[in-house]
Structure 1
Amino acid sequence: MQNVAASPINWRAEHWILGGVALLLTALVGIVIPTWANATRHEPVPTPYTTMALDLPQLPPGSEADPTIGAYGVNGATQPEWRIVNVRAGQSLSDIFREQGLGPTDLQRALDSQDDASALRHIRPGQEFAFAFDKDGGLTAMRFERGDATRVVLNFSTDGVTEAAEERAVERRTHVAHGVVTRSLFYAGEQAGLSDAMVLKLANAFGYDIDFAQDLREGDSFSVIYDDVYREGEHLRDGDVIAATFINQGKRYTAIRYTNADGETMFYNEAGRPLRKSFLRTPVEFTRISSTFSTGRMHPILGYMRAHKGVDYAAPTGTPIRAAGDGKIVFRGWKSGYGNFVIIQHNTHISTAYGHMSRFASEQMGQRVRQGETIGYVGMTGLATGPHLHYEFRVDGDHRNPLTVTLPIAEPLPAAQLAQFRQKTAPMLAKLKIVDGVQLARAND
């Protein structure tokens, strides 16, 4: 029993001795090998370099480096430090000059420098102008766009105003979109990738045949070919509707943009008949009908039955009101109940009237206007409970329902032009039919 008990103890002692020896050897290796390695390592010898002075040939006279290279703008003019201004809605160039601390003399010098000053007189929201000043705050340069493809810099000095123009690369990119109306036409356009501005252009193309205030239905659909404008590779603005189809309550309408022999661009149907009629069906863009034509209705303010001799289109204050047709403004002013009121005489028999405007546009009484031209803006002047347009259609002084009155149909293109029209529009019509066919196939899947 003693031998059995002692055997494990002796075995453990032997292994403890062996483990200690192994640890000692490991420590010696860790000390000796690094020391030997350091002893055998050679430091790198630096590479010698020699510096020599070389004589360079002299530059020819007059060819010294120009310190202003890279500091030039349009046509070699020194690029000034620009102060950028974006036009706001309702602003004129006079307002912008005044905000920049410039007087009427500076503005007049800019206008006088142009043979055609329309680019300065007719500015639009979002347009960019830039100004540069000297250390005393005097105007030294002004930059603006004359059309999409030309940038102009006016340089001001005591000797006068000089102009430098630069042509810029502009391209139009064509797109195809398809949408189905669910919540609204704007929502359908958004889902199809269209901007709100392009949706309005699409609606305007069909505005003679479709009253989007009351005719639009869920399930209506459209296919559209349109373009947008790029300048030097950057998106500049929306372009135009080139061709489109719209299916409204099961009926298919087609609009094709075409410039006729007289140089007039408008929309035509597949048969070459202009979509434009003598009168717009709806003189405001996208709204709802808040009150229809009636021989008797309860007036919301007066509180008694009274004939409503027009149609009320509810719309936000400031919405543009368009002339329903070509004609002459025969009344422009305040009229009891109607507030700010305009009457347009279109021909011997027909006139239209527009009431409750928040303000008038620039046209004056006696002036002729074109169909679609803005004549005022939606408001609630006079007897009105909310912003809307009151619109009347009169034949020989008698009021007619604007929603149901028969509008004259325009004559188609002459036979000589019709063949050319069909030849030019055939590719667009074919593309639209392909888009419509693809969407129909998807709907039936």
Structure 2
Amino acid sequence: MQNHRKPTSRVRIGALPKHFPRVHAFTASAAACVLVLAIFIPTPDVEARRMPLPVNLTSAEEVVEQPEKVVPLTPRKAIPLAAAATEAIQSLSLTVRNGDTLSDLFKRAKISAGEMYQLLGSGSEAKKLARLNPGEELTFTVDTDGKLQRLALQKDRLSQVRFTRDAQSQFQHDLVQREPDSHPAYRQALIDSSLFVAGSDAGLSDSLIMEMADVFSSDIDFALDIRKGDNFSVMFEEKFLDGEKIGNGPILAVSFTNQGQTYNAVRYVDGNGDANYYTPDGKSMRKAFIRTPLDIVRISSHFNPRRLHPVFKSRRPHNGTDYAAPRGTPVYSTGDGRVIASGYSKANGNYVFIRHGERYVTRYLHLTKRKVKKGQRVKQRQIIGTVGSTGYATGPHLHYEFLLDGRHRNPATIVRKLPKAKSVPSSEMTRFKNQTQPLLAKLENYQGPALAKLDDDN
């Protein structure tokens, strides 16, 4: 028996076999068409996800013209020059050091000298920038081209001067002044050794101690009259900025008991804005002359017509008072007047003589420096020189003389006999009382319990 096998047919890719049944061929063709359609024609869901139709479009032509993401464009508003520049502005702050000039600071800020000269030429206020003080702060604000847009000078924590470039490229200046908060403060002390020690222990600054001594300088000689057991009570202003204390204001009211006698003073600002100290009944605390030409110092030699001279060892009149003080200590004119002599001699060293009206002359000897010239008018407590040891002097001190009608008088006692300055005029007494009585009442309220405590502690 023979084994018959059907011949094997080779099928080429892309061609149907010759003997493929017609029904099968039709079925295969239809399946191929469906597969092609499934691959290349996306379903409606896929199409919708790929390109969503805007709500207001209705035709196929409009859909084709739309981008995939529609971002509406709105016209951009014009930006002013100053605002546009602000977008690219940079600021740099520099502190003025010893020896710095404005040119040095511009170089450190990398700003051209031309910008500096344009600023300095903008007015008299800008020219003051040529005189900078160490510790002041300059803030430069420049644009991307290195052009100066603003310069701010911070003089202290309260004051700032700003120079700002305007639309015409000119610099305009304005002053920004901050006002600190002021609150009254109270201190009191019992003197055991000196006013300075007692004041410092009570928490007073040196400047407040000196201010208090100045208030009573016509009544109390703080180099001679102070005794153990003297006491004081003082009310003054404390100044705060952003909750931090930045300093003290003036004394508002003060009471000082010296050798059993009490002196009271209160600050009054008159209708012209001038501030001075008065007794509670309106009498001026200031006499024509203050008691001493220096702040609190030590008397090394009193007025003595029969004194033994320390250099020549012979009895010669000492027609003044010697105040021992460190070299360079400021010396004040004890009253208003005119300088009638300012020079140097072998005996007196550097000296200054001042005439006060027709009857009075004061003399200041052995100065290390003279600060005034002959013919110059001076005010009470104006600095006229500094303590030295020029001429016949064994050490740094001031020799002070007081002459009345050409005769030497004791400087420590003569001032008490001289008239005071003008008191509050009667036309201002109502205003004076309204302003000062509340201050005196506050001082009295503080004073009672505080002084009682001082007595208990001692």
| TM-score normalised to structure 2 length | 0.70
Match of 2:253? Answer: 243
Query: How far off is 1:63 after superposition?
Result: 8.2
Mapped to 2, the partners of 1:277 and 1:235 lie a distance apart of: 34
Secondary structure at 1:419 match in 2 = helix
Query: How far off is 1:100 after superposition?
Result: 4.8
Mapped to 2, the partners of 1:304 and 1:395 lie a distance apart of: 27
Matched, 1:97 2:110: no
Mapped to 1, the partners of 2:256 and 2:375 lie a distance apart of: 38
Query: How far off is 1:129 after superposition?
Result: 4.7
Matched, 1:296 2:309: no
Which one has a bigger Cα radius of gyration? 2
Matched, 1:422 2:424: no
- Change beyond 3 A, Cα 1:114–1:182: farther
Matched, 1:389 2:393: no
Secondary structure at 1:245 match in 2 = strand
Secondary structure at 1:296 match in 2 = coil
- Change beyond 3 A, Cα 1:111–1:230: farther
Secondary structure at 1:275 match in 2 = coil
| TM-score normalised to structure 1 length | 0.72
- Change beyond 3 A, Cα 1:404–1:107: farther
Deviations 1:365-396 (A, max 9, x none): 21111111111111111111221111111112
Residues 219-238 of structure 1 aligned to structure 2 (within 5 Å): 219-238=229-248
Matched, 1:284 2:288: no
- Change beyond 3 A, Cα 1:63–1:211: farther
Deviations 1:16-41 (A, max 9, x none): xxxxxxxxxxxxxxxxxxxxxxxxxx
The answer to whether the Cα contact below 8 Å between 1:323 and 1:370 also exists between their aligned partners in 2 is: yes
Mapped to 2, the partners of 1:435 and 1:82 lie a distance apart of: 46
One-letter amino acid matched to 2:379:
R
One-letter amino acid matched to 2:264:
T
Q: How many residues align?
A: 374
Deviations 1:120-150 (A, max 9, x none): 87x9x9863547699xxx9998654568743
Mapped to 1, the partners of 2:350 and 2:374 lie a distance apart of: 13
Query: How far off is 1:263 after superposition?
Result: 3.3
Deviations 1:4-27 (A, max 9, x none): xxxxxxxxxxxxxxxxxxxxxxxx
One-letter amino acid matched to 2:236:
Y
Match of 2:208? Answer: 198
Match of 2:380? Answer: 371
The answer to whether the Cα contact below 8 Å between 2:89 and 2:141 also exists between their aligned partners in 1 is: no
Query: How far off is 1:283 after superposition?
Result: 1.1
Mapped to 2, the partners of 1:107 and 1:302 lie a distance apart of: 64
Structure 2 unmatched runs, 5+: 1-68, 108-113
One-letter amino acid matched to 1:385:
T
One-letter amino acid matched to 1:242:
L
Match of 1:151? Answer: 160
Q: Alignment partner for residue 361 of structure 2, among 347, 351, 358?
A: 351
Match of 1:30? Answer: none
Matched, 1:188 2:198: yes
The answer to whether the Cα contact below 8 Å between 2:189 and 2:233 also exists between their aligned partners in 1 is: yes
One-letter amino acid matched to 2:431:
Q
Q: What's the % identity of the aligned pairs?
A: 35
Matched, 1:83 2:91: no
- Change beyond 3 A, Cα 1:329–1:116: farther
The answer to whether the Cα contact below 8 Å between 2:387 and 2:398 also exists between their aligned partners in 1 is: yes
